[in-house]
A and B are shown apart, each in its own frame.
Chain A
Amino acid sequence: MVVQKEKKTINRLKSMYPLRAKVNETYLKSIEAIQAGKPAVWGMLNFYYGDPILKAMDIEVVYPENYGAIAAAMGVARQYLDRADAEGFPTHLCGYSLTTLGYASRMMKELKGQIPPEAPLGGMPKPLFLMSSAAICDARYKWFQALGRYMDVPVWPLEAPIPGIKEFFIEGYYDKMMKLGVKHLRDFVAFVEKMVGKKMDWDRLDKTANLMIEVNRVWHEVNELRKARPCPMHSRDFWSAMPAALFLAGDLEDSLRLYQDMYREVKDRVNNHVGAIPDEKYRMVFAELPPWHSLAFFDKLAERGWNFVIESFGYHPPIPLDLSKVSDPLERITKFSLQFLVGYFEDARKQNVLGGTSAYPYLKYVKEWKCDGALLHPLITCRSASTHLPYVSDMLIEKLNVPSLSIEGDIVDLRLFNPEDALAKAEPFEETMEHYKRMRKQAGFDW
């Protein structure tokens, strides 16, 4: 009998594996550490504001947003969702938030604080406090507030300014954002100190901040290399490697070394014209969260010559900025975090693309990474990953003659994403991409 192995067309980076292993390992390690009595915090992905502070204070962080994805993939999310539903949370809310709320209800109301036995990867233990975030979406601070029903732990909502693109250029605007950020972080440090009962080690924070910035810089450079044709690194490698930069998962010195290795491997591929897929016909940008449970879908597309060369702005490191002269680590962290939000504003204003923080970068990516098409994956219950997509698709076609294919999915109701249906649309979409390739030629674009 011949066992048919699933064909894998994507040529994965070797340097990705140790990085991914590291991320997984640190996850388990941190659970162990917490179980051994180390303080744990539930954190919301906050785009660099709070994490270095927690890291410098030696606090382990678990990310419910991330855990929601794990629970969904492992098939245990359903029962938490049902619980949240029964507790009266409207079903149209962010699926990850409902998973967490259901989880908290099970752990705190039913099991009196014990980690539920069915919880995958060791579960999330009761936190010391909650660090929520105002950046990107309302769910991200309202959700942690709602957790107050189940756990009497304090919440710190991290403020993040949401400037308008034009308004940002009003004189003095940036300084006011800085003032807010630095003062806010200073108060946050005081809060954390009180919570863990020890003082901040400022030298350590200084080092942590620098490492965070450096890790992200290298990671940025890796992604710049993907502009090469054929593109040496597929989005799947990006997703596997991103947690080390985005959540600062793992030891930062290790991460730095591993990203440097990755840089070398990718550079090598560029020099030797090695692509991430055998025959790159279409260069694609992927918008927002990938369908984690059907990643094999990308192999099928790779067989058709679709290479995914760049992806969601929200998971990308900020455009590097020289911060070596900024002596106060809190100021450095704030500048770095703000850079994530406003790094593309100058350009966006010039191009008069005012549709928001997460919209403009797609135009830049498509232009610089020379994409033929965009695959958009709007998610029923994640507003922030979906709201800007119609606008993005409109701008891409209008300004750059690049078409988009939109395939609906969800973050927890995994059945919603139908890979067969999506593949059935690949054929007509290839025609569309070919058409626009010609249009771009006519309009004088260089790809």
Chain B
Amino acid sequence: MTHSDLSDVQVRVRALESALVAGGHVDPAALDALVETYETQVGPHLGARVVARAWLDEAYRERLLGGATAAIAELGIRGRQGEHMVALENTPTVHNLVVCTLCSCYPWSVLGLPPVWYKSAPYRSRAVSDPRGVLADFGVTLGSEVSVRVWDSTAEVRYLVVPMRPAGTDGWDEARLASLVTRDAMIGVGVPSGAQTPSRPGSRL
């Protein structure tokens, strides 16, 4: 995008906001509050807590897999673009990957706003037709024994990937485990950041 184009967009945005505020259609303080929410409050640290809890607490894990929206709400996490959550558990033989080919639906309530690549044409086009190629773009290689399950978010259901717990984390508490859970791992294009070796034999993820 050229500089002059960007200026055009900025001018349009300012003109629209001015008109909406001047006409009393929008409360400027509400706009600030909305921005502040997604800049400082909502983000992948929320999903990481959910994943870490599932790793630690077998009963919670079962509730999460059986009804994610309620299980996530137990931790006080809920809201827009997370009204209908489904948790997808990775295993040594199944790897889950989430996309929205039609727009860019994303579980805001647990991951915050999506990164640009998630909204980009390369990801949206290839995640469903060449998921292993997409994973390779992220440096992730799956063994041939691992099948990939791609979830195209074509309705109002939002998906959260529960990655496998890394080996060597026995005895870690929830906060320490959560620190390993990256945003990319919860979309399915990464692995927990501390994962040197898989938690179970036979997997190369």
On whether the two chains bind one another, the answer is: no
**Chain B interface residues toward A at CB < 8 A:** none
**Chain A interface residues toward B at CB < 8 A:** none
